[in-house]
Chain A
Amino acid sequence: MSNAYTTVIGLEVHVQLATHSKLFCRCSTQFGAEPNTQTCPVCIGMPGTLPVMNRQAYQLALRTAVALNCDIPEFTKWDRKQYYYPDLPKGYQISQYDLPMSDDGFLEIADAKDRFEPKRVRIIRAHLEEDAGKSIHDEAAGKADSEIDLNRTGTPLLEIVSQPDMRSAAEARAYLEEMKLLLTYIGVSDCNMQEGSLRCDANVNLHLDHEGESIATPIVEIKNLNSFRAVERAIEYEAARQYKEWQENSEPPKARQKYLARPKQTRGWDDAAGVTRAQREKEESSDYRYFPDPDLAPVITKGDEVQAVREALPELPAALRERLGEDYGLGTYDADVLVNQGRALVDYYLAVADGSGDPKAACNWVTQDVLRVLKDQESTIDQFGVSAENLAGLVKAIDDGQLPSSRAREAFEVMLADGSAVDAAITKLGIEQVDESALEDLCRELLAANPKIVADVQDGKQQAVGALIGQAKKKNPNADPALVRQICLKLIGEGV
């Protein structure tokens, strides 16, 4: 069935920009306050009040648009999008219509697990607008009223609309994850989905062949997608549902024509039931009567300002992955793991790699040991007990032979526990270099005491030597197991 159609997906992402105050008034945007405690006459839309645009919101929007490779037109303006809803106190949302602040960008996505080919998802536009408030319907109380909270009203949002360039739920998810990563790298949003800082609607339809004719099924907009997982599930569900619907309506030709001419539909995702459901809409509800907001001045952004924003951008995830591959010799998978953890972890890694001069080993330590501990401790890298400098010291000590790799993990645990440098850990653990002749003496002693093992090895059972390694460690904890094994085999071979 997967060959029977192609799923075509476009995503509309709303990102809350990380300002202190709202887009058009100076109320706080802090999440989680008591209902209606972060409002003022402006964001309540009281008569006579006027919006004044938050400079930082515009700057964050501009930075994002530039990072998404968008063009920034010199002239942009704000429009009113008009509809009635109780969480929209002015009766219109201030948004952008025909002259958005940016257009025509792209975001590149790839999959470390190779489920799809790397691709460039084109971005139609990104524009700045204000958020609405919240309606709470208390079904438990069984009352006929909904309660309106306007705290969120007027929070700055960037709406990013992609072309329908994605072809699977996995691609859609990768787009969202890469988007989130990019936005957090450039510091424009915390992208917290639980708090609604990142919201997503998906436009989905199917392309298929019907008796040599290319068919595109009517587009469905899926709303209420509250997690990346929900986006994936909803797209998969919707593709299957649309295919079934197509099959039911593909014949006779009259029914097919009628089906294909259906207008775009809006469906809501029910996460618990795992289904999308049609949402009731009236014909007039899409007549938004946009017109330029007379209360707001347009914004003119010159090319040199855009250039300055571009130059001030931090290194973006894609470039960073490339640098990790080229300059540090990391494979795609490792680079991905590091970069996806966020800039702070990458910086930590880079410090370990540069400090130790061994990027591969640094990568192993960071992606395995460090990440394991962070996961166990449910903490982040800035709270991590081993400084990058100290971890670099540890890697270096191993490479220099100062610390046997067999005891490196022990040293790491000590460093983690007390924040010490590798030298102190070595001292604390009593690790010292055992010289080879001393080790040979120890081995001779062990072989003499274990004739059975010697005989077994001589009979070809080389693994029998393993028992000696344990004994050696008991007698001298600094004995390098590999060396013990090697010396024992050598001595047996020499017929000791």
Chain B
Amino acid sequence: MSLADLTASELLDTLGRGEASAVEAAREYLALIEQRDGDIGSYLRVDAEGALAQAAEVDRKREAGEELGPLAGLPVAVKDVLCDSAGATTCASRMLEQFHPPYDATVVAKLKAADAVLLGRLNMDEFAMGGSTENSAFQVTRNPWDRGRTPGGSSGGSAACVAAGLAPLAVGTDTGGSIRQPAGLCGVVGLKPTYGRVSRYGLVAFASSLDQVGPMARTVRDAALLLEAIAGHDPHDATSLEEPVPQYAATLDKPLEGLRLGVVKEHYGAGLDGEVESAVRAAIAQYESLGAEVREISLPHSKYAVATYYVIAPSEASSNLARYDGVHYGYRTDQTKMVAELAAERKALSDAGDEAGLAQLDTALVRMYRKTRAEGFGPEVKRRIMLGTYALSAGYYDAYYLKALKVRRLIRQDFDAAFEQVDLIASPVTAAPAFKLGEMVDDPLAMYLVDLYTVSANLAGIPGISVPCGFNTAGLPIGLQLLAPPLKEARLLRGAHMYQQATDWHQRRPAFSATPSE
């Protein structure tokens, strides 16, 4: 049995017992990446040298009997959206291709302090905007279960990487479902914590009031292990919660006695794939057989969640992405060319005697901004910036942005009421399994509707987890989503673990040819 076949928890124990070294584990994963990732495209950059050095340092510490962090020697891969002073942080965008942050995101600093071995940086939708990872400026990531299909997004690199066995643990981020949806489509576990549970410092912002960092892994136990290492209060993030971090992994095996599981009646309407529905209903039945009481509940405003989300998220994004202007860091358009073009335009207008045109002509500075941003951002990012700018602009603020904030509260109140009656809510993660690459690129609205089951948790700020609950006839994974009240991650993990103890969906692996693809 190879080290890469072990779960993270098993590997941690193996390393702890001295049966293998961190360098051996890192080597094994690096070899697998070399062998398999050409097909998958989950990593944007692999840091073999850095990983081996970190692994060697862990081995040295262990040898010397020095104190070790909770993830000592465990390989971890990070979505390329969390700043790491060790190299570039690109957000899969041309805009940040050359950006080298002089600081670590708090999560990255915690991983380093936990003695994790950072393998490399994972692909994603540009600035985490998208649900297929096709919006990456650099490469396509493929679903390990079917290379013609999407791994989901925006943490598609993280999900595909874990599913393909190219890291036991990965860090993702979730603004509207970006951890849970790719986890569901790739048959792995992904958890979005309560808003404020994990620091956002150094997480390149998409929509600040919705973004959360979370773990992705093969098992719930592994997700608990990683969450415990990255969660906690951070004085550098004013929205981070000052609550102690429970011992998620240690309490995992305590089953949830008398669990009341909520099933949302609004979730089972038209548009839900039949095989997905059967798998989710089977999972709910599984819970019943484990002693849970299933109750039907209502989230009356859930049908407005996507509309609410696609006002709030782009609005915040339009503001967060205003900083990419080519002045202080990041991409800048070719200034000489830009100045020449502008001069030619001015001359043409002047020759034509077009006074109005001349008055409207951009200044060099404005043109520099506009060209820089036009060239640095991809189409989906531009679309969201435009949408958000529109929603916040004079005359539309009340009808869109302010209205959405009010509906957001109603959505949260729905959850508060529901959690009076149930302990967890179960639902599909997505309405259908992974779609084909390229299938939705020209239909942004259809793409947005994929987020139907996941966005509510972000709007409400509550935690949610995606666990594998079956496969369709084509062999594509299906995910079950569980939601819990704020800060009830321990309950969420125990509930999900209970299910994994009784099922083996999470133990299935996609097939790989034994030889490197080339």
Enumerate chain A interface residues (CB-CB to B < 8 A). Answer: 41, 44-53, 80, 82, 84, 86, 89-92, 144, 148, 150, 287, 289-291, 294-297
* A286 closest partner in B (C-beta): B394
Docked-complex contact A291 and B319, CB < 8 angstroms:
yes
Contact B393 A91 (CB under 8 A): no
B201 and A48 contacting across the interface, CB-CB below 8 Å? yes
0/1 interface trace, chain B 27-59, chain A, CB 8 Å (1 if under) = 000000000000000000000000000000000
8 Å CB contact of A45 from B200, B323, B397, B401: B323
Q: Which B residues are in CB contact (< 8 Å) with A84?
A: 322, 325, 366, 369
- B residues 305-344 in Cβ contact with A at 8 Å: 315-316, 318-319, 321-323, 325, 327-329, 339
- Of the candidates A45, A86, A289, the one having the most CB atoms from chain B within 10 angstroms of its own CB is A289
Give the residue name and chain of the A residue nearest to B315 (CB): A291
Q: Is the C-beta of B203 less than 8 angstroms from some C-beta in chain A?
A: yes
Residue interface bits B202-220, CB-to-A below 8 A is 1, else 0: 1111011100000000000
Residues from chain A with a CB closer than 8 A to the CB of B392 are 82, 289-291
A41–B236 CB distance below 8 A = no
User: B267-305 toward A: CB 8 Å interface, digit per residue (1/0)?
Assistant: 000000000000000000000000000000000000000
Please name the 5 residue pairs, one residue from A and one from B, whose CB atoms are nearest each other, closest first. A91-B322, A294-B209, A294-B208, A289-B392, A47-B204
Whether A52 and B235, one on each chain, are in contact in the complex, defined by CB atoms closer than 8 angstroms, is: yes
A-B contact pairs, 6 of them (CB 8 A): A49-B201, A84-B325, A92-B319, A150-B328, A289-B318, A289-B397
Which among B89, B202, B238 is the interface contact of A52 at CB below 8 angstroms?
Answer: B238
User: Contact: B201 with A45, CB < 8 Å?
Assistant: no
Report whether A91 and B201 are in contact in the complex, using a CB–CB cutoff of 8 Å: no
Segment from B8-16, B95-103, B116-124, B424-432 that makes contact with A: B95-103
In the complex, what distance in Å separates the CA atom of A295 from the CA atom of B211?
A: 11
CB pair A295 B83 closer than 8 Å:
no
B91 contacts the other chain (CB 8 A): yes
Once the chains bind, are B96 and A47 in contact (CB under 8 Å)?
Answer: yes
| 15 more A-B residue pairs beyond the given contacts A46-B101, A91-B319, A289-B318, with a C-beta to C-beta distance below 8 A | A41-B102, A45-B323, A47-B89, A48-B105, A48-B203, A49-B201, A50-B201, A50-B236, A50-B237, A84-B322, A84-B366, A86-B365, A144-B339, A290-B392, A295-B238
Residue numbers in A under 8 Å from B83 (CB-CB): 46-48
Query: Are A45's CB and B328's CB within 8 A?
Result: yes
A49 touches B202 (CB 8 A): yes
Shortest beta-carbon distance from A137 to chain B in Å: 11
Choice from A45, A47, A49, A150 contacting B99 with Cβ under 8 Å: A47
Q: CB-nearest residue of chain A relative to B82?
A: A48
Q: Chain B contacts of A82 at CB under 8 A?
A: 319, 322, 392
Q: Which residue of B lies closest to A296 (CB)?
A: B238
Question: Which one of A89, A144, A289, A290 contacts B323 once the chains associate, using CB atoms below 8 Å?
Answer: A89
A144: chain B residues within 8 A (beta carbon):
339, 364
Contact residues in A for B369 (Cβ distance below 8 Å):
84
Interface hub of A50, A296, A297 (most chain B Cβ within 10 A):
A50
Knowing A44-B328, A86-B327 are in contact, say whether A52-B319 is a contact too (CB < 8 A). Answer: no
Q: Does B389 contact A (CB under 8 A)?
A: yes
> Contacts A84-B322, A291-B315 known; A48 to B204 CB distance under 8 Å?
yes
Shortest B338–chain A CB gap in Å is 12
Q: A50-B200, A90-B323, A289-B319 are in contact. Are A41 and B101 (CB under 8 A)?
A: yes
Query: Would you call B101 and A48 a contact (CB within 8 A)?
Result: yes
Q: What distance in Å separates the Cβ of A353 from its nearest Cβ neighbour in chain B?
A: 50
At the interface, yes or no: B239 with Cβ under 8 Å from chain A?
yes
B327 & A148 in contact (Cβ 8 Å cutoff): yes
Among A46, A48, A84, chain B packs the most CB atoms within 10 A around the CB of A48
Main DSSP-derived SS at the B contact region: loop
Q: How far is the CA of A91 from the CA of B208 in the complex (A)?
A: 15
Q: How many Å lie between the Cα of A95 and that of B215 in the bound state?
A: 35
* Distance, CA A482 to CA B264, complexed state (A): 106
**Complex CA distance for A49 and B237, rounded to whole angstroms:** 9
Residues of B within 8 A of A86 (CB): 325, 327, 365
Nearest Cβ in chain A — how far from B385, in angstroms? 11
Residues of B within 8 A of A297 (CB): 238-239
Q: Once the chains are docked, how many angstroms separate the CA of A71 from the CA of B202?
A: 37
Residues in A neighbouring B209, C-beta threshold 8 A: 294
Measured CB to CB, the nearest residue on chain B to A90 is: B323
Task: From the candidates B205, B329, B393, name the one contacting A287 in the complex (CB within 8 A).
Answer: B393
B514 CB → nearest A CB, Å: 40
Separation of A89 and B324 alpha carbons in the complex (Å): 9
Enumerate chain B residues within 8 angstroms of A52, measured Cβ to Cβ: 235-238
Interface residues of B in 221-239 (CB under 8 A from A): 235-239
A294/B238 in contact, CB under 8 A: no
Identify the interface centre among A46, A47, A89, A291: most chain B CB within 10 Å of its CB. A47
Cα A41 to Cα B315 in complex, Å, equals 23
Contact of B394 among A50, A80, A91, A287 (CB under 8 A): A287
Check A46–B325 contact: CB distance below 8 A: no
Min distance, Cβ A36 to any Cβ of chain B, angstroms: 10
A92 with B236: CB separation less than 8 A: no
CB-based contact B102/A295 at 8 Å: no
In the bound assembly, the distance between CA atoms of A297 and B202 in angstroms comes to 18
Please state if A291 and B397 are interface contacts (CB–CB under 8 Å).
yes
Bound: A19/B59 CA distance, A:
47
Residues of chain A with a CB closer than 8 A to B365's CB:
86
Determine whether the beta carbon of B103 is less than 8 Å from that of A41. yes
Kindly state the separation between the CA atoms of A91 and B324 in the bound complex, as whole angstroms.
Answer: 8
* Neighbouring A residues of B323 by C-beta, 8 Å: 45, 47, 89-91
Contact, CB under 8 Å: A51 / B322: no
Could you tell me if B328 and A89 are in contact, using CB atoms closer than 8 angstroms?
Answer: yes
Cα(A51)–Cα(B200), bound, Å:
11
Q: With the chains together, A51 CA to B205 CA distance in Å?
A: 13
Q: Which residues of B contact A287 (CB under 8 A)?
A: 393-394
**Chain A residues whose CB sits within 8 angstroms of the CB of B201 once the complex forms:** 48-50
Q: Which residues of B contact A294 (CB under 8 A)?
A: 207-209, 239, 316
What residues on A are CB-neighbors of B327 within 8 Å? Answer: 86, 89, 148
Query: How far is A127 from B199 in the complex, measured between Cα atoms in Å?
Result: 28
A86, A290, A294, A295 interface centre (most CB from chain B within 10 Å): A294
In the assembled complex, how far is the CB of residue B484 from the closest CB belonging to chain A, in whole angstroms?
Answer: 23
**A312–B335 Cα gap in the complex (Å)?**
56
Note all chain B residues with C-beta closer than 8 A to A91.
319, 321-323, 325
A424 to B202, CA, bound (A): 69
B235 near A47: Cβ-Cβ < 8 Å: no
Instruction: Provide the residues of chain B in CB contact with A41, threshold 8 Å.
Output: 101-103
The chain B residue with its CB closest to the CB of A45 is: B323
Q: A41-B101, A50-B200, A91-B319 are in contact. Are A295 and B236 (CB under 8 A)?
A: no
Question: Chain A CB within 10 Å — which of B207, B316, B318, B328 has the most?
Answer: B328
* Cβ contacts under 8 Å, B207 to chain A: 294
Looking at the assembled complex, report how far the CB atom of A58 sits from the nearest CB atom of chain B, in whole angstroms: 13
Query: Please, how many angstroms separate the alpha-carbon atoms of A51 and B323 in the complex?
Result: 14
Please measure, in the bound complex, the distance between the C-alpha atom of A51 and the C-alpha atom of B318, giving whole angstroms: 18
Shortest C-beta distance, A84 to chain B (Å), equals 6
What's the Cα separation between A50 and B238 when bound, in Å?
Answer: 8
Minimal beta-carbon separation of B490 from chain A (angstroms): 25
Q: How far is it, in angstroms, between the C-alpha of A91 and the C-alpha of B316 when the chains are bound? A: 12
Residue of B nearest to A150 (CB): B328
**Alpha-carbon distance between A50 and B364 when the two chains are bound, in angstroms:** 30
Shortest distance from the beta carbon of B92 to any chain A beta carbon, whole Å: 13
Contacts of B393 in A (CB 8 A): 287, 289
Contact of A46 among B82, B315, B329 (CB under 8 A): B329
Which A residues lie within 8 Å of B89 (CB)?
47-48
User: Does B325 contact A289, Cβ atoms closer than 8 Å?
Assistant: no
- A289–B82 Cα gap in the complex (Å)? 28
Interchain CB contact (< 8 A) of B239 among A45, A49, A92, A295 = A295
Smallest Cβ-Cβ distance to B322: which chain A residue: A91
| B205 partner residues in chain A, CB cutoff 8 A | 47-48, 295
Closest-CB distance, A296 to chain B (whole angstroms): 6
In angstroms, Cα B336 to Cα A144, docked, is 11
Give Cα A224 to B321, complex, Å.
30
Residues of A within 8 A of B315 (CB): 291
Closest beta carbon of chain A to B182's beta carbon, Å: 21
